[in-house]
């Protein structure tokens, strides 16, 4: 039990609340897309019997879990020496000796293989694109070594969730889940900048790249606010263009409110509530928004 707890801590399983709700949005968008002409040209046409839908739903959830587990474990493996030097991260599982680097790497490889296997059983296009998805989510861990745009790469990795889940159901690309993916890119990169405020001095001393280390805390927060504004605009565009109902807009209002709230509690000279902004506010934002979007799809 202790070993399982250590691995769940290694991959920060609780952070699944960020991308998983958007994957569910993509999945249920796919279920309600039967009026779209592209539906009939799907590479792997959907089947609407209850058993196959349930299996596909489970496979999508598993894909999310395995892809994220691979990404987090690889990040911890690759950054083990950096984490050991940083007082904030020195107690993580690998520096502390709770999990060996070899086991973390084996966990990463196993998660990658399980992700690809799940994609294989979903449909062909998801299987063909699975290496691309892994390249993005694993490649993020290298980016802080050469670019301050690493936050955007993290956002890109999580943004694959709504597109991938939609592809799992329909087998085709569509502009609507792409708008939600755009919202995720801006949202995640914005709150990752806030999280990176904690390591400005350390990143500079170790020649690591981040927007707070490059721009300073005040300007980084301003950029984070701008990115979150773009996220809200993408969500608004999706709502208007797809003519969602009033439930959608309640969810959008809650999402927007949580973004405003996190910026109200984090200041350049007061980072005491960064974790509250990072975990609580963004967790509420994604879960509540997804619940209202999915409800709107089936009620209106």
pLDDT (tens digit, 9 = 90+) per residue, 55-103? Answer: 999 999 999 999 999 999 999 999 999 999 999 999 999 999 999 999 9
At how many degrees (to 10) do helices 124-143 and 150-170 cross? 170
pLDDT at residue 44 in the model: 46
Instruction: Give me the domains of the chain, ranges plus CATH numbers.
Output: 2-299 (1.10.357.140)
pLDDT at residue 39 in the model: 43
The string of pLDDT tens digits covering residues 126-163 is 999 999 999 999 999 999 999 999 999 999 999 999 99
pLDDT at residue 1 in the model: 53
Query: Taking Cα atoms as reference points, which of 165, 178, 170, 132 lies closest to residue 61?
Result: 165
Please give the model's pTM, rounded to 2 decimal places.
0.92
Q: Dig out the tokens for 266 from the structure.
A: 């984090």
Burial of 230 (0-12, 13-18, 19+ CB in 10 A): middle
Instruction: Give me the mean pLDDT over the 239-246 stretch.
Output: 95
């Amino acid at each position: 039990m202790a070993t399982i707890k250590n691995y769940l801590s290694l991959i920060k399983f609780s952070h699944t609340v960020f991308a998983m709700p958007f994957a569910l949005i993509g999945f249920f968008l796919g279920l309600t897309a039967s009026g779209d002409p592209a539906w009939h040209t799907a590479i792997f046409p959907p089947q609407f019997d209850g058993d196959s839908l349930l299996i596909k739903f489970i496979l999508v959830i598993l894909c999310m879990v395995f892809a994220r587990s691979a990404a987090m474990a690889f990040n911890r493996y690759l950054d083990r020496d950096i984490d050991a030097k940083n007082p904030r991260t020195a107690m993580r599982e690998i520096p502390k000796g709770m999990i060996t680097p070899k086991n973390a790497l084996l966990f990463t490889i196993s998660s990658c293989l399980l992700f690809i296997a799940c994609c294989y059983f979903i449909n062909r296009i998801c299987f063909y694109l699975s290496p691309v998805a892994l390249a993005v989510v694993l490649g993020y861990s290298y980016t802080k070594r050469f670019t301050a745009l690493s936050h955007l790469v993290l956002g890109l990795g999580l943004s694959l969730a709504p597109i991938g889940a939609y592809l799992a159901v329909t087998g085709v690309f569509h502009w609507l889940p792409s708008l939600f993916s755009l919202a995720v890119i801006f949202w995640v990169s914005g709150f990752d900048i806030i999280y990176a405020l904690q390591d400005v001095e350390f990143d500079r001393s170790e020649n690591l790249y981040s927007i707070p280390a490059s721009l300073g805390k005040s300007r980084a927060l301003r950029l984070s606010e701008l990115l979150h504004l773009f996220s809200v605009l993408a969500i608004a565009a999706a709502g208007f263009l797809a003519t969602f109902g009033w439930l959608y807009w309640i969810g959008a209002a809650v999402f927007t409110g949580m973004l405003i709230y996190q910026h109200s509690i984090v200041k350049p000279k007061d980072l005491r509530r960064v974790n509250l902004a990072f975990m609580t506010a963004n967790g509420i934002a994604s879960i509540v928004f997804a619940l209202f979007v999915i409800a709107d799809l089936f009620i209106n």
